[in-house]
A and B are shown apart, each in its own frame.
Chain A
């Protein structure tokens, strides 16, 4: 009878210690996971932002190119206005299509 009580008491104690230990390990593990996740998120986010910034630079060059073409006086570049323009119906297709 005594040994049974002792075993039960011992089991409860062990269970408590085990639970506390598991909680501590889980807590530390979760912190590690959360920190790693946050670090990766930040790193990826920064990478995306850097790429967006690089794309914005290219877009600025594209828009500057459009502005330059629009502002170009084609006559001054030696081109002449077409003598005639021929419009075709929208449904017309070429043999290549």
Chain B
């Protein structure tokens, strides 16, 4: 009896154990092996036809008081879908939807969609506001569904559009960053698919660690840029006015902190509105500041001067005999007015923008040293957080013909991007060291941690003395020459240089009457907070950059002084 009872107990226990094993095995198969499948089925039941709400991190501008303003974020509203099998009266449904939102399909297209009885879900209107969506949902039209949707939204519209970038469907069916910061930081901004309900057991079986620390939270986050929205607006406004006034082919500008490389504003024109890409010229989607290369003209002269001063082959007091024109390798190089100045000191090369003088300085430097400095300045990409940066064209510096070096000395025969140009010029403002230009200063991770990006590395190119001596020459230009001295600000030292370059023609030569204008400047000159680079390509009806860009540069200088209340650095007694 006892043995019989014991064997029964064993059988019962075995059955219970078997049942437990079965339950766990079933759990394993349901939640681990087929978990994804069931999750998809559950999602489909939860929101019929919906593909899940689009989610993505935000990009922020940083105001001067450190408050953040969205540059790119998500907008939420509703979409309208129809089930052609259950729409009773397509005409009435169309009328009802059209009375609420203008974004619905055209009448004929709607009726054609409603006639597709083989389908159960067709989206007919997007981006309804909350009020519109709720109004339409309240009408409970048979066969019409009102569902939540979210989409990428740029509150500033065209503000810094080419730098912020866009998202769109790439090769797959997921929205990903295609240009600008959206693409450069896609790994941080994109959000991995998250199941609606966390599968506790699956997590327990597969990854206990994820229950404690979510690895996504230390990877995904928002971007905080160094772009100041009001400065950006001002720069864009000025650039647009400049561009339209001279009917240029392209105009642009960058305002940067020369010490840190933080870009405060950057703009090009023409541009586009990130919220409406329906009729955008695809060529505008890139960023010309990092992708287009130009011969910048005489704003290269300060770099030539700084290189020669740094190498010790000249001093600020050195003089040379300016002949107005000179012939090198059968090619004639002339000053802008072809006039000879006689024996003059180095500063006149900058203040009067003398090509013959710049070529003379390049010769004092010698080809090898000249190549060394300019390769240091432009031989590498800037490393800025803008994708698709184009390399500089320095081909003339690999040849032995002196004319190539002479022309590079005054900014012809070498083509660089605006970003590379401002980085190089900022070395003069920053005591001889180049900082890394960048747009994103910090990343705010979903875990709550704010990660400062490391942009601290600088590349020393010139000595502090060479940079200061060059700065003094550029300050003299503003105080004495710019607008015949009227541009001088008694209480602020401003260093600047204009540049006018002839445009290349398809035959490999230069147009005699088409130009590229550029302008650079920084202030306060001896402890700069801002460096500005402006350019306009092929302006009509003008020859010199001083005619086109002076006013824009000075407007920006005065605006920045007032907006940031930059204290005077001269002309005021304490």
Interface set of A (CB-CB < 8 Å, partner B):
2, 5, 9, 12-13, 16, 20, 23, 30, 34-35, 37-38, 42, 46, 49-50, 52-53, 55-57, 59-60, 62-64, 66-67, 70-71, 87-92
Contact = CB atoms under 8 A, between A and B. Distances in A.
Interface of B: 2, 5-6, 9, 12-13, 16, 19-20, 53, 55, 58, 69-70, 73-77, 130, 148, 150, 153, 155-157, 159, 196-198, 200, 229-230, 233-234, 237, 491-492, 567-568, 571-574
Given A87-B568, A91-B574, A37 B12 contact: no
27 contacts: A5-B5, A9-B5, A9-B6, A34-B198, A38-B197, A49-B55, A49-B150, A52-B58, A52-B74, A53-B75, A53-B150, A53-B153, A55-B70, A57-B155, A59-B155, A63-B155, A63-B229, A64-B157, A67-B237, A70-B233, A70-B234, A70-B237, A87-B492, A88-B568, A88-B572, A89-B574, A92-B574
A46 B523 CA distance: 47
A93 B237 CA distance: 34
A8 to B, nearest CB: 10
B194 to A, nearest CB: 10
Contacts of A20: 16, 19-20
A20 to B, nearest CB: 7
A60 B233 contact: no
Prevailing SS type, chain A contact patch: helix
A37 B198 contact: yes
A93 B233 CA distance: 31
Of listed B58, B70, B574, residue having the most chain A CB within 10 A = B70
Contacts of B74: 49, 52-53, 56
Prevailing SS type, chain B contact patch: mixed
A42 to B, nearest CB: 6
Given A37-B198, A56-B73, A66-B233, 9 more contacts: A16-B12, A34-B198, A49-B53, A50-B76, A52-B73, A57-B155, A70-B234, A87-B567, A87-B571
A71 B158 CA distance: 15
B262 to A, nearest CB: 20
Contacts of B75: 53, 56-57
Nearest to A20: B16
Nearest to A63: B156
A57 B89 CA distance: 36
B19 to A, nearest CB: 8
Contacts of B76: 49-50, 53
Contact of A63 (B6, B77, B159, B571): B159
A43 to B, nearest CB: 12
Contacts of B567: 87, 89-90
Nearest to A16: B16
B230 A66 contact: yes
5 smallest beta-carbon distances between A and B, as pairs:
A90-B567, A60-B155, A38-B197, A53-B76, A87-B491
Contacts of A34: 197-198, 200
Contacts of A42: 196
Contacts of A60: 153, 155-157
Given A62-B69, A70-B237, A89 B159 contact: no
B443 to A, nearest CB: 18
B556 to A, nearest CB: 12
A35 B197 contact: yes
Contacts of A59: 69-70, 73, 155
Contact of B12 (A2, A13, A52, A88): A13
B233 A63 contact: yes
A38 B196 contact: yes
Contacts of A55: 70
A53 B198 CA distance: 25
Nearest to A91: B574
B13 A12 contact: yes
Contacts of A53: 73-77, 150, 153
B228 to A, nearest CB: 11
B132 to A, nearest CB: 14
Nearest to B566: A90
